[in-house]
Amino acid sequence: MEKESSISKKADEFLQIFKKGEEFTKELIKENERLRFRIAQLEETVDKSGNEEKVKLYEDRIRIIEEELNSLLERYRKVEEENKDFASKYVEVEAENNNLANLYVASYQLHSTLDFNEVLRIVLEIIINLIGAEKFAIFLMDDKMNELLPVASEGLTHYAMPKVKMGEGIIGTVAREGESYFSENITYTSNVDAVKPIVCIPLKIKEHVIGVISIYSLFVQKTSFSNIDYELFNLLAGHAATAIFSSKLYTQSERKLTTIQSFLDLLKEKPKR
Partner 1 sequence: MPNILVVEDSPTMRQLIGFAMKRIPQSRIIEATDGVDALKKLSSETIDIILADINMPVMDGLKLVSLVRGNASYKNIPIIMITTEGAEEDKKKALAIGANAYLTKPVQTQELIRLVSSFIS
- The contact set with partner 1 (CB under 8 A) reads 94-95, 98, 101-102, 104-106, 108-109, 112, 122, 125-126, 128-132, 134, 219-222
Report in angstroms how near the CB of residue 145 gets to partner 1 at its nearest: 32
Distance from C-alpha of 108 to C-alpha of 92, rounded to nearest angstrom = 24
Residue 161 · residue 145 · CB < 8 Å: no
Report in angstroms how near the CB of residue 185 gets to partner 1 at its nearest: 19
Nearer to partner 1, 185 or 224 (CB): 224
For residue 253, CA distances in Å to 52, 127, 151, 210 come to: 104, 28, 19, 18
Report in angstroms how near the CB of residue 178 gets to partner 1 at its nearest: 26
Residue 102 · residue 130 · CB < 8 Å: yes
Nearer to partner 1, 8 or 223 (CB): 223
Which ranges of the chain does DSSP label H, i.e. alpha helix?
Answer: 2-110, 116-126, 169-177, 227-235, 241-272
Report in angstroms how near the CB of residue 76 gets to partner 1 at its nearest: 29
Nearer to partner 1, 132 or 162 (CB): 132
Distance from C-alpha of 121 to C-alpha of 134, rounded to nearest angstrom = 15
Nearer to partner 1, 14 or 108 (CB): 108
| 112 secondary structure, DSSP code | S
Report in angstroms how near the CB of residue 220 gets to partner 1 at its nearest: 4
Residue 172 · residue 165 · CB < 8 Å: yes
Nearer to partner 1, 5 or 224 (CB): 224
Distance from C-alpha of 35 to C-alpha of 12, rounded to nearest angstrom = 34
3-class DSSP state of 260: helix
